[in-house]
Amino acid sequence: MNILFLCTANINRSKSAEVLFTNIGDNNTYKSAGLSAKYTAMNDSQLCTEELLEWADKVFVFEKMHLDRIIEYTGDKFLRKISNIDIEDRYQFMDQELVRLLKLKLLPLVL
């Protein structure tokens, strides 16, 4: 299964999720991206594209505003595959509490 993690800038939350689950080594393929062109450009990180949304079987966003942004640009085309895991933007890359929350919220959904 192809799984995409999306946050604002793709430097902390979604990137941590990609690294964490890639290292688990299951049969899924994981990618991550950010939804803000401004912040992904500032941080030289991956910007979400419609092609990435097409590629994904499941998409996990971290806040409702991420879902709203996708709907703004693509309508309801991808809604069936998107879930909001509701993790605030207050963690650094691979922060222990972020990793704990990612495992708690995502392990049952991706494995």
Number of domains in the chain: 1
Q: Residue ranges of the alpha helices (H) in 1-111?
A: 13-24, 37-43, 50-55, 64-74, 96-110
Q: What is the mean pLDDT of residues 39-53?
A: 97
- The burial class, CB within 10 Å (0-12 / 13-18 / 19+), for 55 is middle
pLDDT of 44 over the 80 cut: yes
Which secondary-structure segment (H or E) carries 79?
Answer: none
At residue 59's C-alpha, the angle toward residues 85 and 94, to 5°, is 55
pLDDT of 26 over the 90 cut: no
pLDDT number for residue 71: 96
Which structural domain, as residue segments, surrounds residue 59?
2-110
Which CATH number belongs to the domain containing residue 105 in this structure? 3.40.50.2300
Write the pLDDT tens digit of every residue in 51-104.
999 999 999 999 999 999 999 999 999 999 999 999 999 999 999 999 999 999
pLDDT number for residue 110: 86
Alpha-carbon distances of 81 from 41, 74, 108, rounded to whole Å: 26, 13, 16
